[in-house]
Amino acid sequence: MQFVHETNRLEGYTYCIRTFGCQMNKHDSERVAGMLDMLGAYTVETPEEADIVVYMTCCVREAADVRLYGQVASLKNVPAPKGRRIVAIGGCIGQRDGEMLTEKLENADIVFGTHNISHLPDLILSSLEHGTRAVEVLEKSDDFPTDLPSQREFPWHAWVPIAIGCDNFCSYCIVPYVRGREKSRPFEEIISELGRLATEGVHEVTLLGQNVNSYGRDLYGEPRFAQILEAAGNSGIERIRFATSHPKDLSIATIDAMATIGNVMPQLHLPVQSGSDRILQAMNRKYTAKQYLELIDSVRDRVGDIALSTDIIVGFPGETEEDFLATLRLCEEVAYSQAFTFIYSKREGTPAAKIIDDTPHEVIQERFDRLVSVIQASAYEQNQAEKNTVQRILVEGVSKRDSAILSGRTPKNQMVHAPLSAHHTIADLVGTFVDVRIDVAKTWYLSGTIVGS
């Protein structure tokens, strides 16, 4: 699919994209930005300043749904620079709710799905021209949507989708229903994109999929993720990361590839969800806590020093104190560097939504708080090991709190802050590699001093 358009049809128009949810959405947003830029529109900071507002939405938990409705409704009486504002809703809520969104939100002009972002410019142009509203959601797409222009958030970092959709049907999760079945992108296409990105000066790539470990199964009859890592290792891109891995599909070949390919970063996000076998089974995760821990052992044995992170759901229907304690124990044993912790959110249409549970919210909240402190303790502990080491960081920008302090990330993806020295400006350093001696290690970041030139 090639994006062909007259280039100036949105000249003078301003746009703003608000992105919720996972990296897949962030990547889709970069594509929407790429297309709107090509048509001559330019980006502004806030929806209030924009003629065109695009929401890339997420419906994995209820909170994200609620936030969208609030934000769209709040724009209703705010005039747009050119008079009429176009509000377009895409992403997973667009895909899931379609028509219903225009019924519920009177200022939603366009609803589009996850399979047809390439049509958004036409929908916007026709809405501007004829004042019409449009809903276009496709059940699925036959193409892997790749050849769209992309306006990357950071010129030195790129998201590279290798597969879309998900076949796993974890019992709590809505993603397979909205994003559809897993569809891998042809191997050669991924490799040629990596080569092109390397020549464009990209230093870091994150390979994306709901379950990257099963990459290729639909196309080649067997997973080929380890081969993707090998090829990525030869692409000339300095840092390769990937997300997300399902434990049931993380193969020894992949772990070996991580161990032997120098530019595959020592970082692994391996969502466990729960440490209780009973709950794991009810979640349809297809592994036990013991199997998960064995996997962690073989990762640490083969790769050595590595940052491990995870996703955990607290309060899955039927979770008891005992189940929860199993989760806490597992977290203590693994000693994660980071964890994304979520309170279970009921999603209509998923099997778990049918399970009745009357555990009071306070009990779940209290478990959640205990889990967060266990994670904080291990994150702090893991960071201590970096003290007095020299870390090569890829500079992302300045610290949010102080523009004289640069921030960047280590190979293990830890955030590092370091004061800019007198002979450097941030403009010189952003997107480059800098060595920093780590003096201080906190729970969520490290700080230190730039060494060398």
Rg from Cα positions in the chain: 23
Rounded to a whole number of angstroms, the minimum distance from the CB of residue 419 to ligand F3S is 36
Tell me which of ligand SAH, ligand F3S, ligand SF4, none is bound by residue 162, counting a contact when its beta carbon lies within the kind-specific cut-off of 5 to 8 angstroms.
none
- Which of 34, 40, 98, 176 binds ligand SF4 (CB under 6 A)? It is 176
- Scanning 65-73, 171-179, 250-258, 395-403 for contacts with ligand SAH by CB under 6 A, the matching segment is 171-179
Closest by CA position to 180, among listed 210, 160, 208, 206: 210
**Treating both helix axes as pointing N-terminal to C-terminal, what angle do 23-38 and 120-130 enclose, rounded to 10 degrees?**
50
- Scanning 13-21, 67-75, 161-169, 325-333 for contacts with ligand SF4 by CB under 6 A, the matching segment is 161-169
Rounded to a whole number of angstroms, the minimum distance from the CB of residue 223 to ligand SF4 is 14
CB 181 within 8 A of CB 165: yes
Q: Where are the beta strands (DSSP E) in 28-117?
A: 42-43, 52-57, 86-90, 110-112
Residues 6+ apart with CB under 8 A from 428: none
Rounded distance between C-alpha atoms, residue 226 and residue 215, angstroms:
9
Q: Does 59 help bind ligand F3S (rule: CB under 6 A)?
A: yes
CB 306 within 8 A of CB 268: yes
Tell me which of ligand F3S, ligand SF4, ligand SAH, none is bound by residue 176, counting a contact when its beta carbon lies within the kind-specific cut-off of 5 to 8 angstroms.
ligand SF4
Q: Does 313 help bind ligand SAH (rule: CB under 6 A)?
A: yes
Rounded distance between C-alpha atoms, residue 23 and residue 56, angstroms:
11
Q: Does 211 help bind ligand SF4 (rule: CB under 6 A)?
A: yes
Rounded to a whole number of angstroms, the minimum distance from the CB of residue 207 to ligand F3S is 16
Beta bridge partners of 164: 183
Q: Does 169 help bind ligand SF4 (rule: CB under 6 A)?
A: yes
Number of Cβ within a 10 Å radius of residue 64: 17
Rounded to a whole number of angstroms, the minimum distance from the CB of residue 26 to ligand F3S is 9
Q: Does 344 help bind ligand SAH (rule: CB under 6 A)?
A: yes
Site residues (vs ligand SAH, CB under 6 A): 60-61, 166, 172-173, 175, 210-211, 244, 246, 271, 273, 311, 313, 342, 344-345, 347
Site residues (vs ligand F3S, CB under 6 A): 21-22, 24-25, 58-60, 91-92, 175, 178-179
